[in-house]
Amino acid sequence: MARKPKITNQQILEAAREIFLQQGFGGSTIEIAQLAGISEALIFKRFSTKEELFLAAMGLPEKAVWMKELENLCGKGDIKENLIQVCFAILEFYSEVMPRFMMLRSRGNAIPENCMIKEQGPVQDVKVLTDFLEQEISLSRLRPVNAKIIAHVLVGTLMNYVLAEQIQFSPNSCQTEAVHAFDLKQQPKLEFSFVQGLIEAIWQGIAPI
């Protein structure tokens, strides 16, 4: 007898995402298991709690990829180019995650407080970016400025850009398909140009003296 193909974590997350986007956090793991064609027990062998499954399905890891990359950039390379690359990575991250949460909010599907890691989201993003900027300032690679304000400007602008694009491309956000309406990968040159312009706009105020 042929062995049944092993289901991947990604397949489980895709099924979970579909159920959560339809029903919010209240969607049951039994329904997710049925959609994925597996047992509910298998879900909890891969994900310790429903909260962990929800965060993974919504694309919210404890540490985003751009944060891991940022750790290796401090004091290295061209700081201006580093900022462009980091902000583009943040834009990619927001373009994937924000539409999903907009969908949940538009349907009135509340997200339980105990499901969200307190320091995740924009607050954490600003903190991580602030720490990076402060380190670069201490190395005299940026001029002495208020790093937290610069981080707020960058994060807020990138979030607003994604929000505006999502509203433009999916005015009827009540449809599940709207979650995929804004795909940054379809127009990477335009988005990269936006990020370059953003860094250029603030560069004169932060460039090393």
Q: What is the pLDDT of residue 109?
A: 60
The structure's pTM equals 0.74
Other Cβ atoms within 10 Å of 117 Cβ, number? 13
Alpha-carbon gap, residue 206 to 92, rounded angstroms: 24
pLDDT computed for residue 164 by the predictor: 85
C-alpha span between 197 and 191 (Å, rounded): 10
State both tokens at 2. Answer: 């042929």
> What's the pLDDT tens digit per position in 79-121?
999 999 999 999 988 888 887 777 776 666 656 565 554 446 7
CA dist 136 and 76 (Å) reads 9
The pLDDT mean for the chain works out to 82
Contacts of 74 (CB under 8 A, 6+ apart): 132, 135, 136, 139
Q: For domain 9-57, give the fold.
A: Arc Repressor Mutant, subunit A (1.10.10)
Token readout for 63 is: 């540490």
Q: Assess whether pLDDT exceeds 60 at residue 144.
A: yes
Of the listed ranges 66-70, 140-144, 179-183, the least confidently predicted one is 179-183
Residue with tokens 């999916």: 170
Domain spans of the chain?
9-57, 65-206
pLDDT at residue 101, as a whole number: 74
Helix (H, G, I), strand (E, B) or coil at 39: coil
Confidence at 157, pLDDT banded by 50, 70, 90: very high
- Residue 28's nearest CA partner among 41, 39, 16 is 16
